[in-house]
Amino acid sequence: MVDIHTHILPEMDDGASSLEESLEMCAAAAESGVKTIVATPHFYDVTVADAFLEKREARLALLKSGLMERGLSLEIRLGAEVAMRPGLYTRRDQLKRLSLGGTRYLLAEMPFSPIPMEDVFDYVELIFDQGLIPVIAHPERYAYFQENYDIPNLLLEKGAVLQVTAQSLVGAFGPKPMKLAQAMLRADAIDCLASDAHEAYGRRGADLLAIRDLLFAQGIPESLLSRMMEETPGQIMADTDISDRKIGYILPPKRFGR
């Protein structure tokens, strides 16, 4: 599997708080069948990226040294979960430096506080204007997406990629994120499932196999799981176009008795 959204770098953000925890997360990922993991620490600075990038490289070097000592085999690539905020970069070279593994795909986190739908699309267009493709992080978890399915539908029409947190499909983040995630699944509108790992195990764990097995037991075909957890994220990290993308329209669940 390829996990394109994790917080595994030690002491980088609200993910791994130490090298030991980072190594535990990597071990959990590797044992669950993850071959490539993308470290995507939160990025909030809308002015300069140099200090963030230097710290990210240093944390990666520390983690790689620990992995070597433990004999863990895991490809780690760098990216960032870039917060969409007013004043986001307009220089063409800046956002590219934060993309997933140096590809044209950028992991973008929308504000959790509600913003106008037009602002969502403005951020997406800004990313496209810089020659990048927005990968929207956990769209199912934004309350204003949950209340207005037009937003994820229009994002798909515009060519954005949607990355759902795998645990959302089984209710780990509550009923509303699960409802939207399952509606997206029915519409074949989930491009990627990722862990958004902040810990080794648990609600925000790096163990993707456990959630994959649970989803398979619930009737999700292995071919679809492979596409969302292997093929499409693999294409993203290879910087190629996503193939066989047949997206339906995301519909809210039927409301009975009305």
- pLDDT, one tens digit per residue, over 66-107 is 999 999 999 999 999 999 988 776 666 678 999 999 999 999
112 touches 143 (CB < 8 A): yes
- CATH number, residue 179: 3.20.20.140
For residue 152, is it within any domain?
yes
For residue 252, is it within any domain?
no
- In the structure encoding, which two tokens stand for residue 200, read together? 């080794």
For residue 251, is it within any domain?
no
Q: What total of structural domains would you count in the chain? A: 1
At 196, the amino acid letter reads D
For residue 196, is it within any domain?
yes
For residue 254, is it within any domain?
no
Give the Cα separation of 216 and 172 in Å (integer): 17
- pLDDT, one tens digit per residue, over 121-134 is 999 999 999 999 99
Residue 25: in which H helix or E strand, if any?
helix 19-31
- Beta-bridge partners for 137: 163
Give the Cα separation of 165 and 137 in Å (integer): 8
pTM equals: 0.96
For residue 54, is it within any domain?
yes
For residue 128, is it within any domain?
yes
123 touches 95 (CB < 8 A): no
Q: How confident is the model at residue 47 (pLDDT cuts 50, 70, 90)?
A: low
For residue 257, is it within any domain?
no
What pLDDT was estimated at residue 256?
A: 38
Owning domain of residue 138: 2-237
Q: In 10 A of CB 57, how many CB atoms?
A: 12
